[in-house]
Amino acid sequence: MAYNNGRYELIIVGAGPAGLSAALTAAYFKLKTLVVESGAAGGALANIYPWKEVYCYLGFRGLKGGEIAKRMVEHVRSEGIEIHENEEVKNIIKSKGKDIIVETTKGKYITNTVILATGLNVPKKLNIPGEEYDNVYYHLPVPEKFKEKKVIVVGGGDTAVERALILQINGAETTLVHRRDTLRASDENIAKIKESNIEIIWNTELKKIGRKNNKLIVTLLNKKNDKRMEMEFDSVFIAIGTTSNKEFFDRVNIKLDEKNHVIVDECARTNIEGIFAAGDIVGRWLRIPEAVGEGGYAALNAYKYIRNPYWA
C-alpha cells in the first residue's frame, strides 16, 4: 500500500461532532489537517440518527440530526479542511521520532498527531439464535421504510424509546420489550411513550429469533413468571447500547477502561505520545455539547504539542 501524497500535522479519525469540532479548531490554528470518516461525514448524526430531533445543543433546538450534521460539515469544509468519506482507518503505527503512520482502506498517511473521535459505533448484541437474520437491525437511518410493518424494539434506554417512537410516527405497528419494569430513558421520552399507543412488554427478554414465511418469530421469556411466548414481526430492532471498536484500539495499543472507553488525561492525551481522543469514546456525557467541547480541546492540545507556542 503506497503512501498518499503529502503529510499532515493532524489526522482526525471520525467526522462526527467531536471530530468536526477538532477540525474547526485545527483550522483556526492553521494546522494542515485531514479528517477520515468510515461512512458519510457527520458521524452518527448523519449515518444513524438523521431523523432524530436534537434538543440538547444550544441554538439548534428543533433541528434534526441530519440537518445539524450538514451544517457542521459545510462549516468545516468552508475553512479548507480536507475530509475523506467512506475511508476506514485500519491501523495507526507510531514510527521512529514523532511520525505517526495512519493506514486506511485507501492508502497510508504520515502525520505528527492523531485525534481519535470514532464514537461508540459498535452495537451491543444479545448473542441469541437468529440474530443474524435479515430484518434484524441495530440502527434505524430510514424510519419511513417500515410504514405499515409490525416491528419490535428491544431495550429500555433513550435509544430504544426514541426508535420505537419514530417508528410509530412513521406508521409502523410498534412493540417495545424491556427486561425491567421501568425505563432508563429521559423524563421527556418516558412522557412521550406514555402518550403513544406503543405496546410495552415489561420484565421480558428476547431469547430467540426464528423465521417463517418471510416473518420473524421471536421467543420472549417473562422473568417474573418464567413463561415463554412467541410473537410474529416483520422486523426486530435491538437497541441495548453501543460500545467502542475494542479490536481496533487493541491493535493500535490504545488503553481502554473496563467499559471500553479510551483513557485520556487532563489534556485529552492517550497512552501513546501524539495521539489524543475526544467525544463518546472517552465516555463522559454522550451528547453533542460534550463532544464539541472535547473535540476543540483535543485539537488545542494537539496544536500545543506540534508547535509548542511560548504561551503553552
Confidence of residue 62 (pLDDT cuts 50, 70, 90): confident
pLDDT tens digits, 229-246: 999 999 999 999 999 999
pLDDT, position 312? 80
pLDDT tens digits, 6-50: 799 999 999 999 999 999 999 999 999 999 999 999 999 999 999
Helix (H) or strand (E) holding 288: helix 288-307
pLDDT at 98 over 90: no
pLDDT tens digits, 223-233: 999 999 999 99
Q: What is the Cα–Cα distance from 92 to 253, expressed in whole angstroms?
A: 9
Examine domains 8-122+242-307 and 125-238 and report if their fold is the same.
yes
DSSP conformational letter for 2? P
Average pLDDT across the chain, whole number: 95
Q: Considering only the top CATH level, what class is 125-238?
A: alpha beta
pLDDT at 2 over 60: no
Q: What is 208-276 written as a DSSP string?
A: EEEEETTEEEEEEEETTT--EEEEEESEEEE-S-EE--HHHHHHHT--B-TTSPBP--TTSB-SSTTEE
Confidence of residue 3 (pLDDT cuts 50, 70, 90): low
* Among the ranges given (70-79, 91-100, 197-206, 254-263), the one the predictor scored with the smallest mean pLDDT: 91-100
What are the cell numbers at 178? 424491556
DSSP conformational letter for 109? E
pLDDT tens digits, 267-285: 999 999 999 999 999 999 9
Q: What is the Cα–Cα distance from 304 to 264, expressed in whole angstroms?
A: 16
Q: Which fold has domain 8-122+242-307?
A: FAD/NAD(P)-binding domain (3.50.50)
pLDDT, position 1? 52
Other beta carbons less than 10 A from residue 93's beta carbon: 13
Domain ranges of the chain: 8-122+242-307, 125-238
Q: What is the Cα–Cα distance from 10 to 238, expressed in whole angstroms?
A: 36
Confidence of residue 258 (pLDDT cuts 50, 70, 90): very high
Q: What is the mean pLDDT of residues 286-301?
A: 97
